[in-house]
Amino acid sequence: MWKQLDVEGWNARRRGSLSKVMGPVKEIVEAVRERGDVALHELTERFDKVELDDIRVTEAEIEEAYSKVPPELVDALRTAEKNIRAFHALQRPADMWLRDLAPGLSVGVKTSPLRRIGAYVPGGRAAYPSTVLMCAVPAKVAGVREIVMCTPPPVNPLTLVAADIAGVDEVYKAGGAQAIAAMALGTDSIAPVQKIVGPGNVYVTAAKMLLRDEVDIDFPAGPSEIAVLADESAEPSYIAADILAQAEHDPNAACILVTTDQVLANKVGRELEKQLARSDRQDVLKRSMDNIGYTLATDLRSAAAVVDMIAPEHLSIQVSDPLAVLNGIHNAGSIFVGRYAAVACGDYASGTNHVLPTAGYASTYSGLDVMHFMKRSSVQVIKREGLEAIGDTVEALAKAEGLTAHARSVSIRRQH
């Protein structure tokens, strides 16, 4: 089970799964494109084994969901929502700013929210009310007017309560690649959205990638991942617990320990066996063991370089001086510093977002935040004295490029 990994081969496996499903996903997308709601009903019956009367969740169903969720869980969701909202409020930029570059020349940026976004929330193996909050709360903070959510049926009451607390406007009983296609392309029941966010399995991720010409997406967010960077000072039981916490999400979850200490690696392997034996989600965990292991580095600088090559979704740093190591990390979706920073805290209630790029995409993408739901327009306010200050430059460069009309659009103003 616990083994030393070839990092390059492990990376290739976690990145190669998308190509294997592109064919079937393309067929699903085309079915929704051509037949809309009819295809959604058929695909839901085929994949989720559920016959739907109505795709949209009603207000009555949401009210009923509250009666099925214990009050302490409702309170927990509200606490999590509060922390997530507070963290993301810190990210929200000013609606507009202007700065003077020269007399009569001011430049700045106007920031505007998207109007309608779609959030995908996984279902099936588990309920993910936390993902509802992670997708919808930053959109609300950004000022998005319409938040649409798709999730596979049957929809867990906890998910519906989370949607209500987070301010989701429309909830639909649709999962998988077909839900992504419906939000991107539109059907009679689901009006198209401008952007789709949220994690999912490899089929969901493939659909998002296929539909990028039709709708904006956040980033590829597939099966969960964790890299733990640890030295001899780390507690093996904590590392094993963090690995199993991510592995229980999905059989394709990828987990790796990057360490400078073989003795620690051996101890973590023994801890994994002990904790796995008493874990609840044995079916998922045992299948995900194929994607779990460790690699050795000669020192912490080399270990950080390995982490950067992996570009993991989650990174846990458990070394004697974690802040020193943190400065050497450049590629990671969300970073957890110190032995007490359980990755599960970021999944639920620390306030940071758990919708993160996977499969190495953390090397080029950032995790979900307020700016994913906003767009920026540059602004320039130019008065006569400002035009005079830059007019010669504009005219000279325009003429050099052979764009005489550009030059004339400036000179005609300077003549009056």
For 263-307, write each residue's pLDDT tens digit. Answer: 999 999 999 999 999 999 888 998 988 899 999 999 999 999 999
pLDDT digits (tens, 9 = 90+) for 133-146: 999 999 999 999 99
Q: Into which CATH architecture does domain 223-363 fall?
A: 3-Layer(aba) Sandwich (3.40)
Mean pLDDT score across all residues of the chain: 95
Region(s) of the chain under CATH 3.40.50.1980: 19-218, 223-363
Banded pLDDT at 19 (limits 50, 70, 90)? confident
pLDDT at 16 > cutoff 80: no
pLDDT the model gives residue 376:
97
Q: What percent of the chain has pLDDT over 90?
A: 90
- Give the chain's radius of gyration (CA, Å): 25
pLDDT the model gives residue 250:
85
pLDDT the model gives residue 183:
98
Residues found in the chain: 416
pLDDT the model gives residue 125:
59
C-alpha 233/C-alpha 359 separation (Å) is 29
CATH 3.40.50.1980 at 19-218, yes or no: yes
45 close to 160: Cβ distance less than 8 angstroms: no
C-alpha 210/C-alpha 24 separation (Å) is 12
C-alpha 149/C-alpha 133 separation (Å) is 11
CB-based contacts of 301, cutoff 8 Å, min separation 6? 328
Banded pLDDT at 412 (limits 50, 70, 90)? very high
Structural tokens at position 66: 């509250």
Ramachandran bin of 24, using left for φ above 0, alpha for ψ from -120 to 50, beta for the remaining angles:
alpha
The residue that leads in pLDDT, 249 or 192, is: 192
C-alpha 368/C-alpha 105 separation (Å) is 35
pLDDT the model gives residue 405:
98
Please list the residues that pair with 336 across neighbouring strands.
316
C-alpha 77/C-alpha 293 separation (Å) is 34
Helices (H), 278-371: 282-288, 300-310, 322-326, 343-348
Helices (H), 59-197: 59-68, 71-89, 129-142, 157-166, 176-185
C-alpha 279/C-alpha 137 separation (Å) is 32
Q: Active-site positions?
A: 313-314
123 close to 207: Cβ distance less than 8 angstroms: no
Short-list 44, 49, 365, CA closest to 221: 365
Please list the residues that pair with 197 across neighbouring strands.
119
Banded pLDDT at 18 (limits 50, 70, 90)? confident
pLDDT the model gives residue 217:
97
DSSP annotation of 331: -
Looking up tokens 């970021």 gives 346
C-alpha 189/C-alpha 379 separation (Å) is 38
Please list the residues that pair with 258 across neighbouring strands.
229, 295
Ramachandran bin of 162, using left for φ above 0, alpha for ψ from -120 to 50, beta for the remaining angles:
alpha
Banded pLDDT at 124 (limits 50, 70, 90)? low
Structural tokens at position 1: 């089970």
259 close to 296: Cβ distance less than 8 angstroms: yes
134 close to 161: Cβ distance less than 8 angstroms: no
CB-based contacts of 212, cutoff 8 Å, min separation 6? none
- Calculate mean pLDDT across residues 45-60: 94
Banded pLDDT at 12 (limits 50, 70, 90)? confident
